[in-house]
Every structure is written in C-alpha cells, then in structure tokens.
Amino acid sequence: MTKTVSFDKAFDLIEPLRRSTTASELRAAFVRATKSISDCYIASGRVKGGAPVNAETALVTYPDAWLKHYHERKYLDIDPTIVNAGRSYVPYRWEALQDISVKQRQMFLDIAETGIKGGITMSLHTPDRAAFVTSFAFTKAVSEDRDLVALGFINSQYYETLSKLSEAELPGPVPTFSRREKECLLWVSRGKTTWDISVILGISENTINAYLKNVILKLGCSGRIQAVLRAIDLNLISP
C-alpha cells in the first residue's frame, strides 16, 4: 500500500536519518522511512566502473530466496541497475529501460515472479566518479510522482548521513554563498520550482538556474535535493 507524502512530510521523515549516530541506526531509520511511503525492498550501495565497491556500506533487504537465485544466475555481472549506474543522472522506472539484453530482461521477469510489481533506481554521483545507487522494488505499484520524489529525498539524506558517518564527505571549509544563492536554495527547500522562485524573486528562470548550478558545484553535489540536505547539515539554510 502506498501513502501519498507531501514535501513537508518528507522533511519529517528524514529527521531520524539526520539524527542517526551509527550506521546500523541509520539503516534502520532509512528502512522505516521508505516503508512509511510504500512496501518495498531496498538494494543500496556504491558502484564504480560497473561493479559494487565498499561492500561495508551496502544495504540489501531483498528476501534470501531471491538473493540466492540472483547469485546463482550471476545476475550481478549483468544487472542493468549496476552496470549502467554511472550513466544515469535521473531516477528511472525499471519498465522504462530499453536496449537491455535477453538475460537482463530475464532477470526482471524472474524478480516479478517473486511478487515484485515494479521498481525504480536512483543514482547519486560522487566526487570520486563513483555512484551511490539505490533500487526500490515495490510489492505494490507506486503511481504518485510525489511519492517517488519523497523516496528520492529520503535516499539523498541517507547518502548524506552515511557519508558523514563513514568520513566520506568532501573535506575543506564550508563554502560561502551570495544572498541570491541562499534565497534560491531556501525556496527549493520549501518545494518551489524554478518558475515559482523566478516569480517570488522577480528574476528570470535562467538566472535562478545559474544560481542553483553554482550552489550545487560549491557543495560538491549532484542535484538540488542533495544540495538542500547538505546545506541544512552545514547550517547554511533553515527551511
């Protein structure tokens, strides 16, 4: 069953992740937060060069029977959610994948036989040219876009806190922002679109995008949501 989640509610869901002080506490908070949106299994971890790395940071909640079948069929070697991790910059539904091999298609047919109704994969690109990949396999269909956005929000916070706990975040001084850069990021944290912000601030959408691009680069992030979460952790903004 899915539970439609508002942008404000998503902030409430990530708070336990932000407060986590150990990896085990963080993983438990991540699983609880995702289950508040949809019943799903999770496979999450770092991928580089088309293969998993840093196994100690991985989180997998799939049933043992599926994991056994997955490894027996050597699906790890061809799993498109892993092999193509470095090429994807936006979340995608599994059914939208094209140009996949016969064996890759068989992998999705096999997992469907376990009761999985569909899945979505998200990749966060890291400064060392790796990707932090999370796949959600749903036991019931998720159709609401806002629920998928909320899952992305939760996943970004999971990565941020995990990076902090594993000392994998970028070192160096806290970046400085211009007044406009802070304003733009603050409005993003409140769920506003580029068009909304341009109306509020009275400047063009191109200018808004330029400010946000600068913010993302300064924070070493791969997107707006990740930038918002990192800025909150650094006390640069308070939504």
Where does a domain end: 165, 192, 215?
165
Q: Which helix (H) or strand (E) holds 179?
A: helix 179-189
Where does a domain end: 165, 192, 207?
165
Summary mean pLDDT of the chain: 84
* φ, ψ at 121 (rounded to 5°): -120, 135
pTM passes above 0.85? no
In the chain, the number of structural domains is: 2
Per-residue pLDDT tens over the stretch 60-107:
999 888 989 998 898 988 999 888 877 777 888 898 888 899 999 999
Per-residue pLDDT tens over the stretch 191-235:
889 999 999 999 999 999 999 988 988 887 777 887 888 888 778
Residue 238 lies in a domain: no
Pair (149, 220) in one structural domain: no
Residue 172 lies in a domain: no
Note down the domain range covering 23. 7-165
Q: Which amino acid is at 63?
A: P
Q: Look up residue 133 and give its two tokens.
A: 């990949």
117 vs 140: CA distance, rounded Å: 6
